[in-house]
């Protein structure tokens, strides 16, 4: 829970304490003293906890034998971990927000600058190349009329995702509003959630995930934190996308979306490079009128000589790509950017100097050379150069062959094929801890029963006592490679009954995805019933199965009960009618 608010850490600690004391208390009455209002935190709309974690805490803290008491006496041991400020000791847990996050508003600031941001990332269907871009639009309100103006369009490297492009657009907008009050609208839930809650939690964690690896877009998030401090007041608001309405917010968002897509289409062929270079790319001018400062007059003359020695077909290629010879120094430059053209003779020398001795990758070579030079077919030439490097070919990792996955045959009838799996319910109830789940892929009918252990004996008993007497012997059973299925006992039962036992691939667990998805739905349904009825999961299991068997499918709108029995499941409404 590193990086979360003190309230949320207290909630996690309370749930952890109840779980760990369960084996000692054994269902007896238990009183838990906490200094935070844990139930108010559970009902809090703005939280950095995931929905799954909140629902899990709610189930743990809602058991009938538990009494939670708010206690304002601070445990002295907490002072050894970190000093507790006065704000943390006395506050309303339902509305508590750290000071650095409360400064970012979620409602418009009256009289402030109005900006709309958007990022775009898409793959060209013809070329297969990804294009990315970001844009910022400003709204000017004059009396009853308003105008929209594109203030920034940024082409981005092709490896930038839509989330990265949205972050870049937000950073650019905050930099544009330096020292001013600004209200920024974005249609990205990722960006708005990041600005209002996630980014501070990641900052407190050092931008590291629980496994110690850096979070995605770490460098962009660090830039975003710095940019949030630039305006005097900031409001970041989530708006709906693609509404086709004529109000100011809808038109501003639509223009930002269009501008981001347009600049992505015309973006140069950036190479994939580290995101920390984006700050330089944002401020870099796109037009270059002369050679970079390190090049002296002697270097200019040498470049002109090399260009003159180029073969005729090479110069024709320059002219086809929009390059002209300058009338002042007679050096070929790209007309649109002003970048000088590097002839192939100079390119091979430059590649050798940049590539050796560390044998740098293609992405670095592209980024370095494209910054100040125009080189036609640069990507192909670098690829050929690296392919001829014996050291790179010997030590660089080779691309693996991706095997095309086959498809599971569609079942021809109910209960001819079955998918089997175990679910760990974590908490024991009447000595039961696990659920064995059987799913019919044809009808999506689900059978489930409690068991003490997740072993082959439990699986065999459930099949022989519950599934087979009710639905008959299946043609095939599919399961994962767990030891409770891959053993002599289970194989003997399948062989004796003439059932084919098929295993899902270890490298492709999605082949058993039907039962995995229904496992999640079943556990979620049980959690909701436990909270609503204040009962344990064993009591709520039949009701959860009843609900899932009467849930229509998204494609055919038929319930599993209708597919199996040919009629709708009787309910209190149908019986009364």
pLDDT of residue 73: 66
pLDDT digits (tens, 9 = 90+) for 458-499: 999 999 999 999 999 999 998 888 888 888 888 898 999 999
Closest CA to 239 of 287, 189, 195, 282: 189
Phi first, then psi: give them for residue 436, nearest 5 degrees: -100, 130
For residue 72, name the pLDDT band (cuts at 50, 70, 90). low
Q: Residues with Cβ < 8 Å from 526, sequence gap 6 or more? A: 425, 537, 540, 541, 544
Q: For residue 324, list its beta bridge partners.
A: 333
Question: Is it the case that residue 134 has pLDDT exceeding 80?
Answer: yes
Task: For the chain, give percent helix, strand, coil, nearest 5.
Answer: 45, 20, 40
Q: Is the peptide bond before 435 cis (omega within 30 degrees of 0)?
A: no
For residue 284, name the pLDDT band (cuts at 50, 70, 90). very low
CATH 3.30.420.10 for domain 417-572: yes
**Radius of gyration over alpha carbons of the chain, in Å?**
32
Neighbours of 573 (CB within 10 A): 7
Is there a common fold for 104-282 and 417-572?
A: yes
| C-alpha to C-alpha distance for 334 and 325, rounded to whole angstroms | 9
pLDDT digits (tens, 9 = 90+) for 369-398: 888 888 888 888 888 888 888 888 777 776
For residue 450, name the pLDDT band (cuts at 50, 70, 90). very high
Phi first, then psi: give them for residue 557, nearest 5 degrees: 60, 30
Closest CA to 197 of 49, 81, 359: 49
pLDDT digits (tens, 9 = 90+) for 82-123: 555 544 555 666 555 554 455 788 889 988 999 999 999 888
Strands of the sheet with 145-156, listed across from one edge:
104-105, 233-238, 181-186, 113-123, 130-142, 145-156
CATH of 104-282, one of 3.40.50.12140, 3.40.50.700, 3.30.420.10, 3.40.50.1980: 3.30.420.10
Closest CA to 184 of 224, 354, 192: 192
For residue 219, name the pLDDT band (cuts at 50, 70, 90). confident
Handedness of CA 538, 542, 543, 547 (dihedral sign): positive
Percent of the chain with pLDDT over 90: 25
| C-alpha to C-alpha distance for 61 and 19, rounded to whole angstroms | 9
- 273, 370 in Cβ contact below 8 A? no
Domain locations in the chain? Answer: 6-96, 104-282, 297-395, 417-572
pLDDT of residue 92: 60
pLDDT digits (tens, 9 = 90+) for 29-64: 888 888 777 777 666 655 566 677 777 878 888 888
Half-sphere exposure of 292 (CA within 13 A, CB side): 9
Q: E strands along 162-211, which residues?
A: 181-186
More confident residue, 139 or 27: 139
- 239, 193 in Cβ contact below 8 A? no
- 186, 170 in Cβ contact below 8 A? yes
Strands of the sheet with 500-503, listed across from one edge:
446-451, 432-439, 417-429, 476-479, 500-503
Q: Is 372 left (phi over 0), alpha (psi -120 to 50) or beta?
A: alpha
Mark out the alpha helices in 407-559 (DSSP H runs): 456-462, 468-471, 488-497, 513-533, 537-549
Closest CA to 244 of 232, 258, 231, 234: 258
Cα–Cα distance list, 383 to 4, 71, 355, 365 (Å): 46, 67, 12, 10
**Which SS3 state, helix, strand or coil, does residue 410 take?**
coil
More confident residue, 200 or 280: 200
pLDDT digits (tens, 9 = 90+) for 303-321: 788 888 888 888 888 888 8
Q: What is the average pLDDT across 544-566?
A: 90
Single pTM value for the model: 0.43
CATH topology of domain 297-395: Endonuclease III; domain 1 (1.10.340)
| C-alpha to C-alpha distance for 223 and 313, rounded to whole angstroms | 45
């Amino acid at each position: 829970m590193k990086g979360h608010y003190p309230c949320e850490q207290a909630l996690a600690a309370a749930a952890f304490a109840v779980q760990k004391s369960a084996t000692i208390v054994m269902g007896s009455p238990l009183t838990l003293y906490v200094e935070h209002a844990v139930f108010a935190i559970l009902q809090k709309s703005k939280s950095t906890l995931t929905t799954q974690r909140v629902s899990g805490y709610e189930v743990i803290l809602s058991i009938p034998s538990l009494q939670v008491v708010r206690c304002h006496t601070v445990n002295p041991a907490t002072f050894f971990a970190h000093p507790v400020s006065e704000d943390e000791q006395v506050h309303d847990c339902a509305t508590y927000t750290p000071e650095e996050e409360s400064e970012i508003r979620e409602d418009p600031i009256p009289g402030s600058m109005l900006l709309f941001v958007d990022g775009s990332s898409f793959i060209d269907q013809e070329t297969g190349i990804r294009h990315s871009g970001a844009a910022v639009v400003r709204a000017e309100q004059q009396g009853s009329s308003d105008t929209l103006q594109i203030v920034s369009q940024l082409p981005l490297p092709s490896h930038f995702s839509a989330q990265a492009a949205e972050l870049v657009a937000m950073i650019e907008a905050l930099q544009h509003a330096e020292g001013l009050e600004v209200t920024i609208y974005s249609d990205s839930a990722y960006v708005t959630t990041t600005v209002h809650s996630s980014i501070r939690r990641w900052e407190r964690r050092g931008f590291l995930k629980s496994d110690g690896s850096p979070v995605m877009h770490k460098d962009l998030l660090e830039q975003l934190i710095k940019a949030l401090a630039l305006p005097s007041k900031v409001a970041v608001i989530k708006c709906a996308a693609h509404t086709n309405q004529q109000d100011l917010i809808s038109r501003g968002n639509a223009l930002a979306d269009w501008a981001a897509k347009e600049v992505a289409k015309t973006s140069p062929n950036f190479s994939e490079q580290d995101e920390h270079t984006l700050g330089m790319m944002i401020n870099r001018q796109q037009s270059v009128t002369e050679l970079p400062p390190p090049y002296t007059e002697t270097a200019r003359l040498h470049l002109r000589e090399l260009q003159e020695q180029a073969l005729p077909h090479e110069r024709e290629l320059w002219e086809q790509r929009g390059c002209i010879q300058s009338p002042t120094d007679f050096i070929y430059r790209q007309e649109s950017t002003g970048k000088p053209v590097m002839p192939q003779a100079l390119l091979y020398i430059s590649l050798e100097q940049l590539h050796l001795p560390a044998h740098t990758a293609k992405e670095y070579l592209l980024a370095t050379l494209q910054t100040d030079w125009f080189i036609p077919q640069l990507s192909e030439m670098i690829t050929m150069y690296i392919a001829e490097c014996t050291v790179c070919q010997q030590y660089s990792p080779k691309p693996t062959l991706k095997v095309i996955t086959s498809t599971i045959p569609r079942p021809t009838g109910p209960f001819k094929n079955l998918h089997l799996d175990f679910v760990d319910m974590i908490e024991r109830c009447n000595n039961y801890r696990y659920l064995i789940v059987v799913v019919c892929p044809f009808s999506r009918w689900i059978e489930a029963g409690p068991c003490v252990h997740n072993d082959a004996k439990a699986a065999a008993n459930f099949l022989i006592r519950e599934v087979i007497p009710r639905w008959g012997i299946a043609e095939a059973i599919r399961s994962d490679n767990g030891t409770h299925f891959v053993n002599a006992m289970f194989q003997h039962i399948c062989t004796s009954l003439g059932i084919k036992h098929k295993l899902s691939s270890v490298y492709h667990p999605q082949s058993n995805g039907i039962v995995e998805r229904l496992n999640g739905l079943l556990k979620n349904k049980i959690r909701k019933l436990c909270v609503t009825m204040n009962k344990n999961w064993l009591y709520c299991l039949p009701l959860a199965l009843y609900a899932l068997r009467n849930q229509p499918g998204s494609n055919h709108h038929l319930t599993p009960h209708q597919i199996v029995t040919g009629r709708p499941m009787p309910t209190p409404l149908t019986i009364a009618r």
